[in-house]
Amino acid sequence: MSQINVQNGHQYQQQFSQINQLLEQSCALWQVQAFEAKNLPWEADFPCLARAIWAIDDAEIDTLDADQTRLVNALAPALRQDLTTLGLQWELGLLAEPIARNNGRHLATDLGLTAGDEAHFSAHIKGRKWEQISAFVRHLPKLDLPVLEWCAGKGHLGRLLAKTRQLDVVSLEWQATLCQEGQAFADKWQLSQQFICADAFEMQVSRSNPATHKLGIVSQIKPPRQTATPMAIPCPLVAQQQAVALHACGDLHVRLLTLAAQVGTQALAISPCCYHLIQAEHYQSLSSLGKSSALTLSRHDLQLPLQQSVIASPKQQALRHQEIAWRLGFDALQRQCRGRDHYLPIPSIKQSQLSGSFKDFCLWAGAQKSVDLPHQLDWDAWLALGLQRQRLTRRIDLVAHLFRRVLEQWLILDRVCFLQEQGYLVEVVEFCANSVTPRNALILAIQSVD
């Protein structure tokens, strides 16, 4: 019995193909670099959409941007008008589809912790992170398998599983200090949780007999001293195991998928995050369907699914808008000073720098990038130009954001189809509300039994 609600495998493949077609058709609207643009780059082909986007008040943009359904409802009618004029048919209904559905999954009503235990467990975890961890655990099938926690940090997820499911847990983390702190927590609670300090990218599956690697040996390795470097050890993934990863970034969760498939790990539960954190210049598809796609995704493209802020405070949003306007104002200035009409990226800044003046910011940025600025400048004029360019970039980004959800679905389904190709039964669910984290997709996979 799989203990997951499995869709017909062809349904995920069909969904991937539909989304892929829409993304290929619409790439002119979402594969854009807003900071490089001087006008709406697609305006000639989509004039109705251009008028609709300029009709939106600046003060309304953040509200629309935080709600995918409202955003689609606001812009899809104008886009449909343009498509009709062009004689094109796009499946725009996909834009408002949720990442996943819970498919009637029966969840535990509580974690089985006393009020006192839950208070102690969550004491060192920020509220929203605790909500994510507890919701993740509620969605896991109850399997009598030891657990490998991938990219564990301090092992909060693994510790909760060891406590509530009474399972043996091995937590993999490359930062020695986090391993030490996590082990101290586990020892205090007398839980069956051991840490391995190792780099996931340095691990290799044993060629001799990967599926029978003895977990008991690795699970006894204690965390190294704080000054130690991550140890080179065999991959701790084995066949009789459930591997879990909550928000492992980019290549890290892809590494887990590929190693688990090699070993034949029985069950997986993965919530992907930060798709753009990859070593290659462009995304490397996992599934055969993904590899056959005409899409070429850069790291910049892979950031699109992450461009939704549902948790930022009004103050944080205001500071972000100020920073972008200042960066764009400086960018216009440096283009003139350098005589080169190209965007010049500058380093990240501290929030305290935004409490100064635009002039101070430009002088700092110029020093960082060795740009000689004239002594006499009309700083207000350059700031006004930055604000004007910001109005443009916000609207270019807002249109691109129509497609952020389907792009994330494409990336998730690439992983799902890969796992199906490796013989797994797969289910995708939303394990928590979007307001807790927009990265709320959970891939559950279990090896099929012939």
Residue linked to tokens 């200035």? 333
- For residue 217, what pLDDT is reported? 30
The pLDDT of residue 211 is above 50: no
- For residue 378, what pLDDT is reported? 95
Which of helix, strand or coil describes residue 204? Answer: coil
pLDDT in tens, 304-314: 999 876 656 78
pLDDT band at 218 (very low <50, low <70, confident <90, very high): very low
What is the identity of the amino acid at 277? Answer: L
What gap in Å lies between CA 440 and CA 132, rounded to an integer? 8
The predicted model gives 139-168 an average pLDDT of: 95
pLDDT band at 416 (very low <50, low <70, confident <90, very high): very high
Residue 183's CB: how many other CB atoms inside 10 A? 19
pLDDT band at 125 (very low <50, low <70, confident <90, very high): confident
- Please name the residues in contact with 68: beta carbons below 8 A apart, sequence gap of 6 or more: 95, 96, 308, 401, 404, 405
- For residue 372, what pLDDT is reported? 92
- For residue 98, what pLDDT is reported? 86
| 161 vs 375, residue with greater confidence | 161
What gap in Å lies between CA 366 and CA 340, rounded to an integer? 15
**How many residues does the structure list for the chain?**
450
Region of poorest pLDDT, from 222-231, 244-253, 320-329: 222-231
| Pair type for strands 267-273 and 441-447 | antiparallel
| Pair type for strands 441-447 and 242-249 | unpaired
pLDDT band at 202 (very low <50, low <70, confident <90, very high): confident
| 383 vs 343, residue with greater confidence | 383
- For residue 8, what pLDDT is reported? 60
- For residue 240, what pLDDT is reported? 95
Residue 149 — φ and ψ, nearest 5°? -95, 115
- For residue 1, what pLDDT is reported? 36
| Count of alpha carbons within 13 angstroms of residue 167, beta-carbon side | 26
- For residue 206, what pLDDT is reported? 64
Selection from 298, 364, 279 nearest residue 330 by Cα: 364
The predicted model gives 13-28 an average pLDDT of: 97
- For residue 133, what pLDDT is reported? 94
Which of helix, strand or coil describes residue 178? Answer: helix
What gap in Å lies between CA 310 and CA 435, rounded to an integer? 6
The pLDDT of residue 403 is above 80: yes
Region of poorest pLDDT, from 14-18, 101-105, 443-447: 101-105
DSSP secondary structure letter of residue 286? -
Contact 265, 143 (CB under 8 A): no
- For residue 105, what pLDDT is reported? 58
The pLDDT of residue 359 is above 90: yes
The predicted model gives 24-33 an average pLDDT of: 97
- For residue 99, what pLDDT is reported? 80
The mean of the pLDDT values for the chain is 89
- What are the C-alpha distances in Å from 374 to residues 118, 327, 332, 338, 383? 60, 18, 14, 11, 15
- The whole-model pTM stands at 0.90
- Secondary structure E strands in 59-159: 147-149
Selection from 265, 258, 271 nearest residue 237 by Cα: 265
The pLDDT of residue 49 is above 60: yes
The predicted model gives 124-151 an average pLDDT of: 92
- For residue 9, what pLDDT is reported? 67
Quick one: how far is CA 35 from the chain centroid?
A: 22
pLDDT in tens, 156-193: 999 999 999 999 999 999 999 999 999 999 999 899 99
- For residue 3, what pLDDT is reported? 64
- For residue 321, what pLDDT is reported? 93
State the Cα angle at 202 between 129 and 288, rounded to 5°: 80
Two structure tokens written together for 12: 């995920």
pLDDT in tens, 54-80: 999 999 999 999 999 999 999 999 999
Two structure tokens written together for 326: 């200042």
What gap in Å lies between CA 220 and CA 194, rounded to an integer? 7
Contact 181, 171 (CB under 8 A): no
- For residue 407, what pLDDT is reported? 98
DSSP secondary structure letter of residue 430? E
- For residue 216, what pLDDT is reported? 33
